[in-house]
Amino acid sequence: MIEFIRRTLSDPALFWPALEAIATIIGATFIWWQLRRIKQESAAHRVESVKYVTTDHLGTEKFEELHASLKNARGSDQQDLGAGIQDAAFELLAIVDVVRVLIDQGYVDKKLLLELMGETLHEVSDYMTNFVAMERFRDAAKIPKIYPETWRLLKEAKKTRAKKLRRVSARFK
């Protein structure tokens, strides 16, 4: 063994390839370690971004108030709900639109958000669809035209919820 080391260190034809092999192993180990760290940071970033959206947008007191008032209005027997509900609907959609922009810009993971907040967004989709279909306030029919991408996000939340329910019900069969 000592003879091998002495020959490797004294013979340039063996020394440089051995040094390259050692450097390659060290480099590959460092790259693997960095990739693991980046993956962990990426996962933490995804969770933090969803946490930000849920606490600063979809979990605010204002959002909850708007959500509750629109939910109650949906159950109302009145055909025309008036300007107050219209304002609440557009204000709620503006909040959801901010979330949609964050998703589109790549700051928030849509799949994770829909998995965690899909139920809330599904409810919003449900009563907004009702308001649009029944034209329960003056500008209700304009909602899909004013917020087309947000409207698609709400529909996607509805589909995600349906998939989730199928997965859960399949577990109990």
pLDDT tens for the chain, 173 residues: list them: 677 777 777 777 878 888 898 899 999 999 998 988 888 888 788 888 888 888 888 889 999 998 888 887 776 666 556 667 778 888 999 999 999 999 999 888 898 888 888 888 888 888 888 777 777 667 777 888 888 999 899 889 888 888 877 777 777 76
For 83, the domain range is 57-171
- b/e 5-25 (16+ beta carbons within 10 angstroms → b): eeeeeeeeeeeeeeeeeeeee
pTM exceeds cut of 0.95: no
Residue with tokens 């901010």: 98
Per the structure, the count of domains in the chain is 2
Count of helices and strands (H, E) across the chain: 7, 0
Shared domain for 110 and 167, answered yes or no, is yes
Could you tell me if 74 and 124 lie in one domain? yes
Are 77 and 137 part of one and the same domain? Answer: yes
Q: How confident is the model at residue 165, as a pLDDT?
A: 78
> 117 is written with which tokens?
């907040």
